[in-house]
Each structure stands twice: as C-alpha cells, then as structure tokens.
A and B are shown apart, each in its own frame.
Chain A
C-alpha cells in the first residue's frame, strides 16, 4: 500500500525556536490530515488539507500541502512548552483506511 515518510523522527528545540516536520509520499495523495499526541495522551485532530498548494494557519501553526499533493509540512513558530508531543500526518488510502506516518517527536527546552 501507499506509505508516507515523516521527518525528522525526533527534534529537541529551545523554547522560542521554530519547528518543522515534513511528510513525503511517492504517490499523489487525495488529502492529508495532521494529528498531535501529547505524552500519555491520544491523537487529536489538528487539520485537513485537500487542495494542491493549500496553506492553512492555526495561531502559531502553519500547514502546507504541496503543489503535486505528494508532500506536506507543519511549521510551528516560536515553540512553547505546550507544543511538546508527537505530530503525525495521515492520509486516506483506498478503502477508507487512514494510514499514519511514523510521527515526529517534539521536545521543547525551557
């Protein structure tokens, strides 16, 4: 089946620094979703991107979907300690199976 590569696997930043995670696919995706999982918690939906080249913002978070719909990114400006967690991208494979990337673990030093 389809797969996505999510990078980096892990990032440790100083509070106030920016953070970006990338999700790359070898095939065109119909849409992409992003989820955040706090330590000890369950994944929580952040956003869905559908259109080629789409950019959406949620406060300090900026989400992008590539023109070819093969890659996506999540950028956090001026990280805070509340941003810690694992960020997953996910896409709908044929048959309505939502497949998750391996996730990027973000740690923030205060």
Chain B
C-alpha cells in the first residue's frame, strides 16, 4: 500500500476483554515500531521489530501486552485483560531500514487505533 495501515481505527472494549490491533507497514520496510499516545501526551515507545524479531521489548507496560510480526510484514499488538488505563491511541510506524550509526531512515506512521476501555 501507499502508507502504513492500521486497523481497526477505533475500538471500544469492556474492561477485562482482550484486543488485537493490526499494522500493515509500507511494503519493503524492514523496521516496525509500536508507540502509545495518551490524550495530549507524547509518544511512549512500546516495541520495535527488525524483520520478525523484536530486539527491544523494554517498552511494553506489562505482561498483558504482547506483539508479533510475521513474514517481515504485518504486526499485531495484543492486549489481554484490558484495563481503563490502556485507553490511548496506539500508533504503528515503519521505516526502510534501521541500522546502528548516525543516519537513520525516517519513520512513517499510520493513523493509529484509538482504544477506549469502558
């Protein structure tokens, strides 16, 4: 596709339910990131994938959060037993490459999934 696609765009769920958020990165982009943004706040790093592997899971808030990426493409972020504090916009971004060193490709963000836990 032309850009990063996220689905659903909005999700309302009851406390305690599980949710799955999907991200389709730009074709050919090897790096994929998940961020969380609460209302009026900054971007909180959750997890990063290079290919299918996740070298950095340090941002996942708790063991209720997990993510996977298959085929070096689509990624899903799963939140189990959702809590009200999980309500936020979940943003996915991809980039062409992610290498150590001074020059890094820019991130291309999707429109996000707005999650509301009631």
Q: Which residues of chain A have a CB within 8 Å of any CB of chain B?
A: 30-31, 33, 35, 41-45, 48, 50, 88, 92, 95-103
CA–CA, A48 to B106, complex, Å?
A: 8
* Closest A residue by C-beta to B110: A42
Q: A43-B107, A96-B50, A97-B59 are in contact. List 18 more A-B contacts (CB 8 A).
A: A30-B101, A30-B102, A42-B112, A43-B43, A48-B103, A88-B42, A88-B43, A95-B56, A96-B56, A96-B99, A96-B100, A97-B56, A98-B45, A98-B48, A98-B107, A100-B43, A102-B41, A103-B42
Q: Which residues of A contact B100 (CB under 8 A)?
A: 96
Q: How many residues of B contact A (CB 8 A)?
A: 29
20 contacts between A and B (CB under 8 A): A30-B101, A31-B104, A33-B107, A35-B107, A42-B109, A42-B110, A43-B91, A43-B107, A50-B103, A95-B48, A96-B48, A96-B55, A96-B98, A97-B56, A98-B104, A100-B35, A100-B42, A100-B43, A100-B45, A103-B42
CA–CA, A97 to B33, complex, Å?
A: 9
Residue B11 is within 8 A (CB to CB) of chain A in the complex:
no
Residue B15 is within 8 A (CB to CB) of chain A in the complex:
no
Q: Which residues of B contact A101 (CB under 8 A)?
A: 42
Q: Name the distance in Å between B44's Cβ and chain A's nearest Cβ.
A: 8
Q: Which residues of B contact A103 (CB under 8 A)?
A: 42
